[in-house]
Amino acid sequence: MMKLFLDTANIDEIREAWNWGVIDGVTTNPSLVSKEGRKFEDVLREVCKIVDGPVNAEVVSTECEGMLKEGRALAKINRRIVVKVPMTSEGIKATKTLSSEAIRTNVTLVFSPNQALLAAKAGATFVSPFIGRLDDVGNEGMQIIGDIVTMYSHYSYRTEVLVASVRHPIHVIQAAKLGAHIATIPFSVLKWMLKHPLTDTGLDRFLKDWERVPK
């Protein structure tokens, strides 16, 4: 089954999307958390009460030791928390150690298939290629999703491909067609996925016609 995560730290959006019953987890990052103007830990505790699935929370240290300390503390908050670690040599070392301690990790800020290969070798639970940001600089972001899915499929890596920096519904379709395990999407994209003008006009017509049915 393809999983959909919500890419936000906003509680109202998470609650609403969770109630739709189609969301499997949540991803946050320091930028999304800073938009909320609340303490990180408070936000995480609240999200974990709503979402029965992985809740991705990012470390901000740049040295392995600091990442480990933060990661272990985040993982203690709730068993749903997955520790997001940046794709650097320090981050890869931290990923290896955290995964050996059975703490789930998500290697983020991934922009190439080789980075994704290293994340898998370090034992990451998820790898997060940032598609929209590659598109922003004139690369075909979705191409690396196909490459990573193909590369992983030749071996027994358990790392799941989590398509991130999704900007529009077509990204979601492309991710699903390429067999990515997960797409993390802003709430706006989830709403666009739901909408079609023919659904609205069709429903309108059904309801109007129903009024003429003798009661």
- Active site residue ranges: 84
Nearest distance from residue 163's CB to ligand G3P, in Å?
9
Residue 13 interacting with ligand G3P (CB under 6 A):
no
User: Given the complex with ligand G3P, which of 91 and 97 has the nearer CB atom?
Assistant: 91
Q: Exposure string (b/e) for 35-44, b if CB count within 10 Å is 16 or more? A: eeeeebeebb
Nearest distance from residue 91's CB to ligand G3P, in Å?
15
User: Given the complex with ligand G3P, which of 10 and 165 has the nearer CB atom?
Assistant: 165
Residue 126 interacting with ligand G3P (CB under 6 A):
no
Which of residues 120, 165, 172, 189 is near ligand G3P by CB under 6 A?
A: 165
Distance in angstroms (rounded) separating the CA atoms of residues 22 and 152 = 26
Q: φ, ψ for residue 11 (rounded to 5)?
A: -65, -40
Residue 169 interacting with ligand G3P (CB under 6 A):
no
- Mark out the alpha helices in 154-186 (DSSP H runs): 169-177
Q: By CB under 6 A, which span of 61-69, 117-125, 127-135, 151-159 interacts with ligand G3P?
A: 127-135
Q: What x-and-dash track marks residues 85-124 binding ligand G3P by CB under 6 A?
A: ----------------------------------------
Dmax (CA) of the chain? 74
Residues 6+ apart with CB under 8 A from 162: 5, 27, 106, 126, 127, 128, 129, 180, 181, 182, 183, 184
User: Given the complex with ligand G3P, which of 5 and 18 has the nearer CB atom?
Assistant: 5
Distance in angstroms (rounded) separating the CA atoms of residues 10 and 69 = 26
Cβ-contact 83, 106 below 8 angstroms: yes
Residue 164 interacting with ligand G3P (CB under 6 A):
yes
Q: Which amino acid is at 167?
A: R
Give residues in contact with ligand G3P (CB under 6 A).
Answer: 7, 27, 29, 130, 132-133, 164-165, 184
